[in-house]
Amino acid sequence: MAIKHDWTKEEILEIYNKPFMELLYEAASVHRQHHDPNTVQVSTLLSIKTGGCPEDCGYCPQAARYHTDLEGNDLMSVNQVKAQALRAKASGSSRVCMGAAWRNVKDGEEFDNVLEMVRTINKLDMEVCCTLGMLTENQAERLAEAGLYAYNHNLDSSEEYYKEVISTRGYQDRLDTIGNVRKTNVTVCSGGIIGMGESEADRAGMLVALSTLNPQPESVPINALVPVEGTPMEEQEPVPIWEMIRMVATTRIVMPETQVRLSAGRTQMSREGQAMCFFAGANSIFAGDKLLTTPNPDVNEDMEMFKILGLNPQKAFEKKSQPESVAAEKSKYQSQGEKPKWSRPEHKIERNLEAQQKARTKA
């Protein structure tokens, strides 16, 4: 059956609001047509550079302008990253996702080191994903040559609600970065967060933006906001598990071949709640005690849950073959010394400004 790329917000809302059991049944049926329902891909998320980000994302404790008591660190070394990757592999992960708290990639020594990290992990026969901010076409090509398997760049929310969350970058920059990744053989990972105060229409709007991409992203993370003290969203109420299951199920129906990733917020979910998410079509999780900076279930707890549910971790490169890593000295794409200036809408978001003022007062 051909993949539908012209979903409308109204059609997606109609799916999202179906009677719960009917929605679950439909999503589970679609899931079984395209995936093994007993296999879940396990990734480990590693923060290779933490804190000090210049952006004003309302949900993020890594934004330098908020006071969140986050302990930052400079870029990790290649050897440190290799040690963490080996540990992740031993605990059952088939993918390592490296995150750096950057606005965008700038050519230079730090990016060269990240490229070496990609080569190193790929040679361990693990899938490598990076989330480094906005990216030019040449930078995407260099990551692809190094052996990158996936690039994560979340849309976060609908284009309309995005303006209520972030003022320091534009929605189109997100789409342009995904477009640059699509010019390579690297797969796309892009999703968002629910529970930031958005409406159901905004959730549908985000799924419209993702599902109308052609091809659709190979991986879509669905995050539940983890409110962090000091951020503008510290007062947000946790998302009810029913809304999370509805979001997973709807994502599965509109993007049938995509791996739907059950991401941040799992510590607040019971095993029964997570089991319903897997039934509804989630077939990828992050393992490890942290997701960049927020808590995550212990990997042993996850493996025990897998055992109870009869789930098996997906092997690396099951969906797409392993990319080759080209050595730095043989690379066709060289550094262009790019320090691109992406857009800065800089409209005012009151709650972000209030959190910033509170941080100044604390300091």
User: Tell me, what's the pLDDT at 267?
Assistant: 80
Measured in Å, how far apart are the chain's first and last C-alpha atoms?
58
Question: How many helices (H) and strands (E) would you count in the chain?
Answer: 12, 12
Catalytic residue among 142, 169, 261, 266: 261
Q: pLDDT > 70: what percent of the chain?
A: 93
Asked if 261 is an active-site residue, the reply is yes
The answer to whether 90 touches 58, Cβ cutoff 8 Å, is no
Asked if 60 is an active-site residue, the reply is yes
**Residue range 141-150, pLDDT digits in tens:** 999 999 999 9
pLDDT band at 59 (very low <50, low <70, confident <90, very high): confident
The answer to whether 99 touches 46, Cβ cutoff 8 Å, is yes
What is the Cα–Cα distance from 93 to 286, expressed in whole angstroms?
Answer: 9
**Residue range 80-123, pLDDT digits in tens:** 999 999 988 988 899 999 999 888 999 999 999 999 999 999 99
Catalytic residue among 95, 142, 189, 252: 189
User: Tell me, what's the pLDDT at 67?
Assistant: 62
pLDDT band at 288 (very low <50, low <70, confident <90, very high): low
| Strands in the chain per DSSP E | 39-49, 95-100, 127-131, 150-152, 187-189, 192-194, 219-224, 259-262, 282-287, 290-291, 294-295, 312-313
H runs (alpha helix) in 123-232: 137-146, 159-162, 171-182, 200-211
Q: Give the HSE-up count for residue 79: Cα atoms under 13 Å, Cβ half-sphere.
A: 0
Residue 292 has pLDDT above 50, yes or no: no
pLDDT band at 66 (very low <50, low <70, confident <90, very high): low
Catalytic residue among 95, 97, 119, 182: 97
Asked if 130 is an active-site residue, the reply is no
Tokens of 39: 């296999």
Catalytic residue among 53, 95, 142, 203: 53
User: Tell me, what's the pLDDT at 291?
Assistant: 44
Mean pLDDT of all residues belonging to the chain: 90
Catalytic residue among 119, 129, 174, 203: 129
Asked if 277 is an active-site residue, the reply is no
Residue 202 has pLDDT above 50, yes or no: yes
| Residue 250 burial (C-beta neighbours within 10 Å; 0-12, 13-18, 19+) | buried
- For range 164-178, the mean pLDDT: 92
